[in-house]
Structure 1
């Protein structure tokens, strides 16, 4: 990507990468707050969409990425005490 991507794609990739770091800081308790988390998640989603848009344009692909839904349908089955397998 760094060798072949257009400048817009590389910029979008770096912004997306930095938004992931921010989520990691929340996961480790360095950053806190419900609204701050919601804002960080929104920034992450927007950064990901922009990267995909730029990358697809670089590749000459038409159309966009279908929108995902959060939370996924299975999310409601989790309990507050659920732990990953």
Structure 2
């Protein structure tokens, strides 16, 4: 074989090997970078979703305490309504701040679920601000708020690729109809 052709084949082999190494290394690094970016954003979305849920939960709890004070539920200790509604306003401010991060980082279905949950909590507050709130309307709205909470968690878990199974079904004994008190015989 001609020495010039042999050298040209050697140079072509080196160039081809270098190009293949470059392509494989670039692809591997690009994949690694995308995976790291994805994990980074997953962590940020997890934080955004959990902080948002932790901001809405006090609002739900305050609504429940107000409902207990107004006699709509038979559990819990009464609270001062004025301070409870003031605390509810502060909790709404916190929720609104956390909402912005969910809007920025969240997946559209999760954002919709978060919005539906918040709107239902606002409905709870609206019912409670009535002078004579209807107990059945509150209980229905409360159950719906809990269902929407689970829907938010389901959407967030799907977005974060959490595959540990569905959330358990909600059962609230305190929201079940209470049996009438047993008749006590009167003594003569």
Q: TM-score, normalised by structure 2?
A: 0.34
Greater mean deviation of Cα atoms: 10-19 or 61-70: 61-70
Q: Which residue of 2 aligns with 1:39?
A: 140
Q: Which residue of 119, 123, 128 maps to 1:27?
A: 128
Q: CA RMSD in A?
A: 2.0
Q: Which residue of 128, 152, 163 maps to 1:51?
A: 152
Q: TM-score, normalised by structure 1?
A: 0.70
Q: Alpha-carbon deviation of 1:68? A: 5.3
User: Can you list the C-alpha shifts for 1:44-78, whole angstroms capped at 9, x where unaligned?
Assistant: 01110110000010111012334555347xxxxxx
**Structure 2: stretches of 5+ with no match in the other structure:** 1-101, 175-188
Greater mean deviation of Cα atoms: 30-39 or 56-65: 30-39
Pair 17,30 (structure 1): closer, same or farther in 2 beyond 3 Å: farther
Whether the 8 Å CA contact 1:12–1:54 is kept in 2: the answer is yes
Answering whether residue 151 of structure 2 is matched by residue 65 of structure 1, we say no
Q: Alpha-carbon deviation of 1:28? A: 2.2
Q: Secondary structure at the match of 1:2?
A: helix
Q: Which has the higher contact order (CA 8 A, sep 6+)?
A: 1
**Structure 1: stretches of 5+ with no match in the other structure:** 73-85
Whether the 8 Å CA contact 1:9–1:55 is kept in 2: the answer is yes
Q: Alpha-carbon deviation of 1:15? A: 0.3
Larger radius of gyration: 2
Answering whether residue 107 of structure 2 is matched by residue 6 of structure 1, we say yes
Report the count of equivalent residues.
72
Pair 8,31 (structure 1): closer, same or farther in 2 beyond 3 Å: farther
